[in-house]
Structure 1
Amino acid sequence: MKQGSTIFLKIAVILMGLPVLALCIFLLPQIANEAIEAAKNNSTLAYVVFGILIIMYSSVLPFYVALYQAFKLLSYIDKNKAFSKLSVKALKKIKYCAIIISGLYVVALPLVYIVAEWDDAPGLILVGMVMVGAPFVIAVFAAVLQRLLQEAINIKSENDLTV
């Protein structure tokens, strides 16, 4: 494959990371400061918000690991190493990161429910469920791709042995 044929996808991967970085730098600390002020007034809801913030910050590391693995996978495609164990390994790491993110947000759902009940915002629960579902779909997709790629590698190695 021609060198640089995946430039658009690499740019898309980088652009996917920028909003999350902005969220972590600008919005989440502001929410944390407001929660600190609420905790000083003995608001129990502030501790629920702290729990959600901890889970959100915890999900950032697997998110960026998955983005890095996607970037590496695109580099393997550029280098004609798409059908290699390295690609399968990258897909496996993406799958595990997506499962971790989904699991973290499953743990956050009861906290989101508490905030939604307090704020009388039932739509917030749907947003929480999307935060569980989207990484789960990515994990399933990565698992299917991983399996297909592994089967293709096995078939390729069998064909190399017979020729």
Structure 2
Amino acid sequence: MGLFNSGISSYDANSVLARVKDICQVWTDSGVETNISENIQVSRWSKLVWNASFNTVSVASGGNDTRQMLDSPKCTELIRKMMVEVFTAGKVVTGSNLTSLNGQTTPEGVIKSTDAHPKSVSPSMLMDYRAKRPLEYEVILRNPIELAKKHSVEVPHLETVYALLTMIERGYMQ
């Protein structure tokens, strides 16, 4: 949790941050792990490194989990290229370097960390796809694509997978 943009806010950021800390403490006391982010936009983009690649490719590749995707060199390369685009766009949009999964700062590090996981992971978008529920590609891909374009950052792999996901979802939601 954190403030959306405390630098240009029209509210008392310190007062709101104190309330965020109170909410986090209530959740922590109830057994829910919480983190307070100094810059929620950097945190959001950092999370997108994994979500915009593994989540989306799991569906676009026909319903594969992380092990199946990483067992394919071509699929792994697509994931890496998508991560490069997110790292690049995120840095331009937020003005900060991103730190993703397990403190990783490169696509290779995120991929290696995912590959080292003892069990394969079925990303949340894959679970939605299997259950024929709406996919979250608008938040995970469209919004970052629009922000990247606004900042003149090319993201062709993100755009391609976004186009495929819209067609996949349309195919089973009609």
Same-fold status (TM-score > 0.5): no
TM-score relative to the length of structure 2: 0.31
TM-score relative to the length of structure 1: 0.32
Q: As a proportion of its length, which structure holds more helix? A: 1
Max Rg structure:
1
